[in-house]
Structure 1
Amino acid sequence: MAAEYANASEYIKHHLGHLTLGDKETFWAIHVDTMFFSILLGAVFLFIFIRAARRMTAGVPGGLQNFVEILVEFVDQQVKDSFHGRSKVIAPLALTLFVWIFLMNIVKLLPYDLLPYLGYMLGLEYLRINPTSDVNATLGMSIAVFFLIIFYSFYIKGVTGFSKEIFLKPFGIWFLPFNFVLKVVEEIAKPVSLALRLFGNMYAGGLIFTLIALLPWWIQWTLGLSWSLFKLLIITLQAFIFMVLTIVYLSMAHEDH
């Protein structure tokens, strides 16, 4: 497909661009491809787990049930190791984040030109299939986690307890403005670091795939296969890191001492 573009710059621009609805120069625009594939992969996640739940048996489990049980036990163990409060939300949230982010990451390993080419044939200017390489998607997830952190901080510690944590720690009442600034920076850094870590790794991976696709065909397979195997490790690791940090941040919000 790279040969159909006038130059390498045009090819890279096409594969790194987004199908956008609205004015690209303003805030009021939406990346349609990011939204579509995010929702689609979320639906895939729900379909797999609902199907496994309906086929659950106490006898000899099938392959799908074994797979889902392994995932649930793995995530449950991470919650037990990192979360020190009591909540019925944290484990399902952690499981959802891990599997959903993994699915949004792994679509990057599909044949690189396939879906963008199909979009091109349908007259779409851009079509990116990897939602986590869009900073809007990763920021959206991390901001949702941030709101949960703030909610549980007030819910567990109360307005008085959380206010004391904001204004009086770590240096006491005499450094109240300084304490407040430190706390604000600390809290804002949580969603920003979550979002940018995931986005940076996925975006860089996509850029490398794009550069590999520009090489002669006889070397694309060697480099592409090697990078795909390494990328599979990164894909899993980034989903795991996002999940674990979410658990840790929410555990910190539940600490009322």
Structure 2
Amino acid sequence: MSGAAELTPTEYIQHHLKNLTVQVGEGGFWTLHLDTFITAVLMGLVIVFAFWLATRKATSGVPGKWQAFVEICLEFVDKQARDTYHGPSKLVTPIAITLFFWILMMNLLKMIPADFIAKPLELVGVHYWKPVPTADVNATLGMSISVFFLMLFFAIRSKGLGGFTKEFLTAPFGKWMVPFNLILNIVEWLSKPISLAMRLFGNMFGGEIVFLLIWVLGGAGILGALAGGAFGLGWMLFHLLVIPLQAFIFMMLSIVYLSLSEDAH
């Protein structure tokens, strides 16, 4: 089950889109996508290590090249967070930095051809490995649900539990329209994390399928290889924009949602 030569194009794409899973709990109550979990943790550790390298020899005078690059990136995210969020919390910038750079690192794995990761793993008996965590809806939903709970935390801290509950039941139509207010607010609050997750997942998953289609085209003779190389280069250059853009959009929408959760209706 390893190569495009042994599989039809459809089977090849399906093979690379299948997660490595493990059943957890009695009777397989919970299915863990092991490849998504391991890769996401590794990418988080990579970015932490990269930032640690910049701070390990940080100087207040003339910074080194890596330190200067990291400072520029952090200042960019910090400026975006400060311009978007006007509340009192000091947690927003760290949240924005974590979301942007973690998602960026996970998205960047899309630039590595699928077989470059799958082939070495097959040699050690791992036949399924979906390399891009953000192409797995479980990962994007996990991050968006975390943002959802942060929204609740920010709202309750700002308004108090009583004030938040009162606003949830009476806004925007007043106290005599509680059922309609409740339905509208539930839909509004739930739609935010779902839209966050599905936007990132849809873009990354769709891009993954196109990359696999191009990779299959490369195995269809000399003309197919030339066409695959040309299309692959064009799609890769396009994704050099899409990859950071999707991380930026997820970060910015998260900050906007946190800011809105503190606003009174």
| TM-score clears 0.5 | yes
| Correspondence 1:225-236 to 2 at 5 A | 225-236=233-244
Structure 1 contact 99–239 (Cα < 8 Å) conserved: yes
Compared CA separation, residues 149 and 124, structure 1 to 2 (3 A): same
Q: State the TM-score, normalized to the length of structure 2.
A: 0.93
| Aligned amino acid, residue 148 of structure 2 | F
Query: What residue is the counterpart of 1:19 in the other structure?
Result: 20
Q: Distance in 1 between matches of 2:101 and 2:244?
A: 9
Measured after TM superposition, the shift of residue 2 of structure 1 is 4.5
| Aligned amino acid, residue 123 of structure 2 | M
| Aligned amino acid, residue 59 of structure 2 | T
| Aligned amino acid, residue 252 of structure 2 | V
Q: Secondary structure at the match of 2:4?
A: helix
| Aligned amino acid, residue 7 of structure 1 | T
Q: State the TM-score, normalized to the length of structure 1.
A: 0.96
Runs (4+) of structure 1 moved beyond 2 Å?
Answer: 1-6, 254-257
Q: 2:18 matched to 1:3?
A: no
Query: What residue is the counterpart of 1:101 in the other structure?
Result: 103
Q: 2:228 matched to 1:220?
A: yes
**Aligned pairs, how many?**
256
| Correspondence 1:90-239 to 2 at 5 A | 90-215=92-217, 216-239=224-247
Q: Secondary structure at the match of 1:22?
A: strand
| Cα-to-partner distance string for 1:17-49 (whole Å, 9 max, x where unaligned) | 0011117x9651111110111000000011011
Compared CA separation, residues 195 and 54, structure 1 to 2 (3 A): same
Q: Distance in 2 between matches of 1:27 and 1:243?
A: 32
The gaps in structure 1 that reach 5 residues or longer are: none
Q: Distance in 2 between matches of 1:59 and 1:159?
A: 48
The gaps in structure 2 that reach 5 residues or longer are: 218-223
Percent same amino acid among aligned pairs? 49
Compared CA separation, residues 138 and 221, structure 1 to 2 (3 A): same
Measured after TM superposition, the shift of residue 99 of structure 1 is 0.4
The RMSD of aligned alpha carbons is: 1.5
Q: Distance in 2 between matches of 1:119 and 1:16?
A: 15
Q: Distance in 1 between matches of 2:95 and 2:227?
A: 42
Q: Distance in 2 between matches of 1:207 and 1:111?
A: 12
Measured after TM superposition, the shift of residue 9 of structure 1 is 1.6
Measured after TM superposition, the shift of residue 14 of structure 1 is 1.0
55, 58, 61: which one aligns with 2:60: 58
Q: Secondary structure at the match of 1:4?
A: coil
Measured after TM superposition, the shift of residue 254 of structure 1 is 2.3
Q: Distance in 2 between matches of 1:5 and 1:254?
A: 56
| Aligned amino acid, residue 69 of structure 1 | E
